[in-house]
A and B are shown apart, each in its own frame.
Chain A
Amino acid sequence: MFETISYETRGKTAWITLNRPDKLNAFTPLMHKEMVTAIKEANKDSGVRAVVLIGAGRAFCSGQDLSGSTDTDYGEVLRKGYNPIVQALVSMEKPVIAAVNGVAAGAGMSLALACDFRIASEKASFIEAFIHVGLVPDSGNLYFLPRLVGHAKAMELAVLGEKITAQQAKEFGLVTKTVSEEEFMLEVETFAEKLANMPTKAIGLIKRYMNKSWESDLNEVLEYEAQAQKIAGESEDHQEGLAAFLDKRKPAFTGK
């Protein structure tokens, strides 16, 4: 079905694997299209309650494939290629985990930043590579990075473009956790499964309105919260949560 990625559902988790290992999973125009298709597929499939993005081989994603690029209108490359991926990730009302197995450079780092969680292997690294070829961080990088690590740190990372180790990424608050190479896959699976069994509707609402909070004032956010709580309050998972609390048992959420 796909050439540059693979898509697979395991249990309640959809796995989207960037699959050009010999090119360190660098983006091509086809990969842009396939990514959007895969993300939309995961969004549509009501059985999917968590999504993992991961790279095949030793890299997570090395960014734009510079070898095949003849298009010099980078603005249009972003509008048509990268931006739809970021928009699809952000508008998906399910938790998305970037499983950063290796290097995440340039737009590959941006891709990880656009996810809701990042779990890094100890051998992973992040590089704001853009500056080394005289470019600026893109694909949401300038939006997400300062929000994740603060303005001063983001400037430092974006302008100096130095390699960030997994350990540093943890210290900067860039990743949820850093895991040894041996335990990495198991940890990602466990984390994804944990999320996939949580109240998905509520997670979706948290994601929707936490994202909107960046462009809103307090009164607007108070109103978003009121609307979100009304919606969540009418969900089956809320009823299940209440019932389980009263019965002193573990809730079995269905995501509805």
Chain B
Amino acid sequence: MRNYETILTSVDDGIALIQLNRPRVLNAINRPMVTELLDAFERFDRNDEVKAIVLTGNSRAFAAGADIDEMKNDDSVSLELLNQFKEWDRLATIKKPIIGAVNGYCFGGGFELALCADILFAAENAQFGFPEIKLGVMPGAGGTVKLTKLMGQKKALEWLWLGDPMTAKEALEYGVINRVIAPELVLEEAKKYAKLVASRAPLSVRLIKESVYKSVDYSTYEGMQFERKNFYLLFSSQDQKEGMKAFIEKRPAEFKGK
């Protein structure tokens, strides 16, 4: 594995793990961390050994926010020229499944990073929120967009305007996360889920992810056209032949991702 300064990475049995590693600042996300995260995600996305990626923090915090010191002297022009969110845009192009495991605080930029995961598991004591408004700003890496698409306009405004934390239970009720789990077991359950996804036909996993995200932005008609193309595309794969043959022969399929 590469030596990163702000994250830890490893691969075990097809599952890549990316762990945010700035524990002294509750994993506050700074620019070097985003650069390293993107590098790690893109490497794992290209690595044939990796079937799914698990993203986590530590027991106290997934990430308590963005590094405020780093941006307190920025102005509009410096931010435009820096174009830091380009890296966040590229995080959205990762094709393999990303499973997020959240313990403790998940605020601001940390929450936005968690929302980059396709599936989110959270500890019973996890807390989510966008406190940016308390600093006189607002989310800048997709917070208002993704939260709104997940929970709806009215609920999103309620949370974004006050900037107060929501509990894991609330996040579950609003469809922001998938499961609430004992804090001790979140990472383990996330890895278990990652393994299950990894056992499914890889090309199907990939094209389903693409179609689901397109459907969020497209009209129903366009979304269905897009889905159809991906459906047809899978009929060029060996796994489709194997999957249907195995079904007829009443045996488990052996998928190769080809």
Give chain A's interface residues, CB within 8 Å of chain B: 91, 208, 224, 227-228, 230-231
Contacts and interface: CB of A to CB of B under 8 A. Distances in A.
A227 B185 CA distance: 7
B54 to A, nearest CB: 18
A227 B182 CA distance: 7
A231 B181 CA distance: 12
A202 to B, nearest CB: 13
Contacts of A208: 124, 182
Contacts of A228: 182
B184 interface: yes
Contacts of B184: 231
A142 B121 CA distance: 32
Nearest to B189: A227
A208 B123 CA distance: 13
Contacts of B185: 227, 230-231
Contacts of A231: 182, 184-185
Listed residue (B124, B181, B184, B185) with the most chain A CB atoms within 10 angstroms of its CB: B184
Interface residues on B, range: under 10
A50 B134 CA distance: 38
Contacts of B124: 208
Listed residue (A208, A224, A227, A231) with the most chain B CB atoms within 10 angstroms of its CB: A227
A60 B181 CA distance: 37
Interface string B114-126: 0000000000110
Nearest to A205: B182
B76 to A, nearest CB: 38
Given A224-B182, A227-B181, 10 more contacts: A91-B125, A208-B124, A208-B182, A227-B182, A227-B185, A228-B182, A230-B185, A231-B182, A231-B184, A231-B185
12 contacts: A91-B125, A208-B124, A208-B182, A224-B182, A227-B181, A227-B182, A227-B185, A228-B182, A230-B185, A231-B182, A231-B184, A231-B185
A108 B118 CA distance: 47
Nearest to A91: B125
A91 to B, nearest CB: 8
Contacts of B182: 208, 224, 227-228, 231
Contacts of A230: 185
Interface in B76-126: 124-125
Contacts of A91: 125
Contacts of A224: 182
Nearest to A212: B124
Interface string B178-190: 0001101100000
A192 B182 CA distance: 27
Interface in B151-185: 181-182, 184-185
The 9 A-B pairs of least Cβ separation, nearest first, read: A227-B182, A231-B184, A227-B185, A231-B182, A230-B185, A231-B185, A227-B181, A228-B182, A208-B124
A254 to B, nearest CB: 17
Contacts of B181: 227
Interface string B182-203: 1011000000000000000000
A228 B181 CA distance: 10
A227 B183 CA distance: 10
A224 B183 CA distance: 12
A231 B124 CA distance: 14
Nearest to A201: B184
A237 to B, nearest CB: 14
A81 B181 CA distance: 30
B189 to A, nearest CB: 8
A256 to B, nearest CB: 13
A231 B183 CA distance: 10
A71 B252 CA distance: 69
A230 B181 CA distance: 12
